[in-house]
Copies of this chain bind each other. A is one copy, B any other.
Amino acid sequence: MSVGMSLLAILDEAPTYGLRLKQEFEARTGGVWPLNVGQVYTTLDRLERDGLIRPVAGEAEGQKAYEVTATGRGTLEEWFQRPAKMDPPPRDELVLKLVMAIRHPDVDASDVIQAERKGAVELLRDFTMLKRDPPAETDLGWLLLVESLIFQLEARVRWLDACEARLDRSSAHLRTEAMPTPARSEETIPTEVLP
């Protein structure tokens, strides 16, 4: 319930109403994670239902502000203190795709790897450029967010390369002649992005 907890965190700084929560959320994530307004209200309903927030009088008419209850503060504190444990770890679509691809007789797993790699490298380029050329207000939170995406994409690309290496090794005994060298050999992913 990441969105709910985020809204709870914003409300814990100061009570506000729906639309401003959306704006605050998007400001902090630099517009990378747009939030539908409707979701704000449904999420607020759930938070109120669970006793984490309670409505207060808004500044102006037509504004329905909320404040965090004692229970809500406790839940929020726990969220900040306790690391997100994965048990089981969240299903990764890409990993599932690869696991299925290497078994499927009609699918060339190397093709899947190359397609995914191309997509990941493109995204990596986009976000690296975005970081190097930040739009308008540069924000620490925004920087951390973008760097997180870059780190994750780098890990993804390295994993795809490792997969290919394992596949080559797995099928090595099947070929008697040399295979064509992979098309992406000259392309290199920088290991470190941070200065």
Contacts and interface: CB of A to CB of B under 8 A. Distances in A.
B28 A144 contact: no
Contacts of A117: 83
A5 B88 CA distance: 20
A95 B2 CA distance: 10
A194 interface: yes
A112 interface: yes
A13 interface: yes
A102 B118 CA distance: 34
A84 interface: yes
B103 A28 contact: yes
Contact of A13 (B81, B103, B163): B103
A132 interface: no
Contact of A141 (B80, B94, B99): B99
Nearest to A139: B99
Q: Considering residues A10, A89, A98, A170, which has the most beta carbons from chain B within 10 angstroms of its beta carbon?
A: A89
Interface in A76-97: 79-86, 88-89, 91-97
Given A86-B123, A103-B13, A105-B13, A6 B96 contact: yes
Nearest to A120: B83
A191 interface: yes
Contacts of A79: 97
Question: Which 4 residue pairs are nearest across A and B when measured between Cβ atoms?
Answer: A83-B119, A155-B155, A9-B100, A99-B141
